[in-house]
Amino acid sequence: MGAQLRIYRRRMRSVKATKKITKAMELISASRIVKAQQRVAASSPYATELTRAVSALATFSNVEHPLTAAVTDAKRAAVLIIASDRGMAGAYASNAIKEGDQLTSLLKSRGLEVDHYLVGRKALNYYRFRNRPIAASWTGFSDNPTYDNAKEIADAVIASFLQETGADELHIIFTEFVSMITQRPLAKRMLPLEVVESSKPPVDGPLPLYEFEPSAADVLDALLPRYVESRIFNALLQSAASEHAARRRAMKSATDNAEELIKSLTRRANAARQAEITQEISEIVGGADALASATSGGE
């Protein structure tokens, strides 16, 4: 076997091995998207009920709460960036980080100092590599977050929000799962809470006049942190679904590229083999000719 042909064969073997890996990752992600979507759907009754309760409270009690009170002279803002732990998901993590950078510069232009809270190893490494200060970070659950994870994050950011010297605003960056094909990084203000989600009246009639046990203020105290937790949980779940979808797409195009590469390498290897055969034949024919002319010349 000629040198050229051997090189082609070796490259084909390596591309085939890579293709097997990317194909497997594509299939794994595809099955996990469905699971992640189901988790988003499963958590929505809780979120809906909670939103309903919070808007009922906001409508019928004019209790002031630190989590809803907007600060007029805000000095500090906290930005929570939800990215992924692992790569191989195309631009998923860097899109979220980029969105975070944009928001940061926007907040800075308003004269605010910005603290960063990071979820996911990719975001953490990005900030570490650039020596940027990190307020807090969480890793290890970006593809399968639990409610406890959301609680942990919410506790930290709410604590900072309630501190006198802490953040006056909390923004969250996550990737919205629009569809299997589209995932959009989104920046949302989380705190102070804007409880009234929409100005249109709720679908199922006006909200009833509630009695509160023990009191409206106590209920609000217990309810608002849960509300923030549930919003963060929802953001984590959507980001997880988006991560899987982004990974599936990236791995699909990697598999397609590998197939393309294998095809063109096969063609070139075939051509090289044919060239070798042709060369051998012409060498044999040439050799036979030379022999024939040598013996005929000798007569």
Partner 1 sequence: MSIRVELVSAERRVWSGEASIVLARTTDGDLGVMANHTPTFGVLVNGVVTIRTENDGDVKAAVHGGFLSVSDNRVSILAEIAELGTEIDVNRAKEALARAQREAADDLAEARAQTRIAAAVN
Residues that bind partner 1 (CB under 8 A): 39, 42-43, 45-46, 49-50, 52-53, 56-57, 146-147, 150-151, 205, 207-214, 218-219, 222-223, 226, 229-230, 233
* Smallest gap from residue 244 Cβ to partner 1 (A): 18
Q: Which long-range contacts (CB under 8 A, 24 or more apart) does 250-257 make?
A: 250/88, 250/89, 250/90, 250/92, 251/22, 251/23, 251/25, 251/26, 251/29, 251/88, 252/26, 254/18, 254/22, 254/26, 255/19, 255/22, 255/23, 255/26
* Residue pair 50/197 in contact by the 8 Å Cβ criterion: no
Q: Which is nearer to partner 1, 195 or 246 (CB)?
A: 195
The pairing of strands 169-177 and 183-191 is antiparallel
Q: Which is nearer to partner 1, 141 or 210 (CB)?
A: 210
The pairing of strands 136-138 and 113-119 is parallel
* Smallest gap from residue 122 Cβ to partner 1 (A): 25
Q: Is the dihedral of CA 167, 187, 230, 65 positive or negative?
A: positive
* Smallest gap from residue 58 Cβ to partner 1 (A): 12
* Smallest gap from residue 91 Cβ to partner 1 (A): 30
Q: Which is nearer to partner 1, 48 or 163 (CB)?
A: 48
Q: Which is nearer to partner 1, 61 or 257 (CB)?
A: 61
Q: Which is nearer to partner 1, 34 or 292 (CB)?
A: 34
Alpha-carbon dihedral 255, 257, 259, 261, rounded to 10 degrees: -140
Q: Which is nearer to partner 1, 126 or 174 (CB)?
A: 174
* Residue pair 183/33 in contact by the 8 Å Cβ criterion: no
Q: Which is nearer to partner 1, 2 or 202 (CB)?
A: 202
* Smallest gap from residue 155 Cβ to partner 1 (A): 12
β-bridge partners, 114 = 77
Residues 6 or more apart whose CB falls under 8 angstroms from that of 55 comprise 195, 196, 197, 202, 207
* Phi, psi for residue 70 in degrees, rounded to 5: -80, 135
* Smallest gap from residue 72 Cβ to partner 1 (A): 31
Burial 103-115 (b: 16+ CB within 10 A, else e): bbeebeeeebebb
Q: Which is nearer to partner 1, 74 or 207 (CB)?
A: 207
Amino acid letter, 296: S
- Give the closest residue to 241 by CA, choosing from 44, 50, 18: 44
